[in-house]
Amino acid sequence: YAMLLSLIFLIVLVAAVVGFVFRHEIKTNFESNLNLALRDYNMTADRHSEAVDTIQRTLHCCGVQNYSDWERTEYFTQKGIPRSCCKSQDDCSEEDLKDPSKAKLKVFVDGCFFLVTSTMESKMSVVAGISFGIACFQLVGIILACCLSQYITNNQYEMV
Q: Which residues pair with 66 in a beta bridge?
A: 110
pTM of the model: 0.66
C-beta of residue 56 within 8 angstroms of C-beta of residue 85: yes
The number of folded domains in the chain is 1
What pLDDT band is residue 44 in, cutting at 50, 70 and 90? Answer: low
Domain coverage including residue 64: 1-158
**Out of 9-23, 74-88, 98-112, which region has the weakest mean confidence (pLDDT)?**
9-23
CB atoms under 10 Å from CB of 101, counted, come to: 7
CB atoms under 10 Å from CB of 135, counted, come to: 15
C-beta of residue 67 within 8 angstroms of C-beta of residue 104: yes
Does 160 have pLDDT greater than 70? no
- We report the CATH number of the domain holding residue 100 as 1.10.1450.10
Integer Cα distance of 62 and 57 in angstroms: 9
Q: What is the 3-state secondary structure (H, E, C) of 76-120?
A: HHHHCCCHHHECCHHHCCHHHHHCHHHHHHHECCECHHHHHHHHH
**Higher-confidence position of 43 and 38:** 38
